[in-house]
Amino acid sequence: MWLCRKTKSGNTRFFCKKGLKHMRTFRLEIDQTNAGHTIKDIFRHQFSFSTHMISRLKVSGGVQLNGKQVRVTHMVQEGDILCAIMPEEHTWIAPSDVVVPILYEDEDILIADKPPNMAVHPSAGNRENTLANALMGHWQRRGEQYIFRAVNRLDKGTSGLMAVAKNPHSHHILSRQLQEGRLNRTYLAICCGNTNENGKIDLPISRIPGSTMKRQISSNGKNAITHYQTIQRLDGYSLIELRLETGRTHQIRVHMSAIGHPLAGDWLYGERIDELDRPALHSSSISFPHPINHKMIMLTSKLPTDLKSFLDGREYL
């Protein structure tokens, strides 16, 4: 059960009723390899905790050795049981009854298959019908509480796979994987015209002055690289697969428009199409080593109904 409380600023804070599951505990039995090291060293090198995470554990009293709270400067011995208990967290995001497909979940991460035309985070004009609200409701129904931490971001109109971290430690590791190119994503898109068999787009992207949303190709922009391969050419359109080396806002949409092949239905960088109410872009696969156990996570998502229907109504070349 979730409870809510009004703050002085007028916002509502949501939190789990006491006794429900909401904290992640990392446990390690000390062997000969780790014996003689300080807890701080083990947190850094064995658990890969960030300096910020170690500080939070110290402040919250989440550092325990053999069931007793200790300092991180304490030296461990063989046979000791070391536990790091993530601090309790509260969220400002209200749970909703909206259900989204979840392809994978454990105590550290969740992979959701976001429907099209669903925003990721609540905003001033949309406080409830977002992916974050839906996942809060998903956890609420199981008596759990987590902070919503998106790892990769998708535009409202883009459908498909999104990685969400369920604690600050897994978010730190996955964000680093994303920056280092070890969290791989591929996309499917329908673009206007017939594209080359494959291509690499290396064009810097910047925000258009005065616009909060639209981006442009600019020599003063941030480095942006997109690779694409044509899967199928149709009458007036192409189905392509894309892989990103960088993750700039609207990168695929801006790059494909820049080479003369804007995404079908992309009203911002191309033209509106009556048959589509969003840009024809789908996050179709994601792969990365699990942030804790290091096993490979590899998931795929089929082209959604609206994009498949758009293709089915056209003749293949």
Of the candidates 80, 113, 155, 306, the residue annotated as catalytic is 155
The angle that helices 168-180 and 51-60 make with each other, rounded to 10 degrees, is 180
CA distance 20 to 161: 29
The three-class DSSP label of residue 99 is coil
The residues, ordered by sequence, that sit 6+ positions from 222 with a Cβ below 8 Å of its Cβ are 204, 205, 206, 246, 248
CA distances, 171 to each of 213, 235, 248, 296 (Å): 26, 43, 19, 16
Amino acid at the residue 213: M
Compute CA distances 13 → 16, 31, 43, 90, 315, whole Å.
10, 42, 31, 7, 53
User: Hey, which bits of the chain come out as E strands?
Assistant: 2-6, 12-16, 25-29, 63-65, 68-69, 81-85, 102-105, 109-114, 149-150, 159-165, 184-192, 198-202, 205-207, 215-217, 225-233, 237-244, 281-289, 296-300
Tell me the pairing of strands 159-165 and 237-244: unpaired
Residue 113 bears catalytic tag: no
Please list the active-site residues: 155
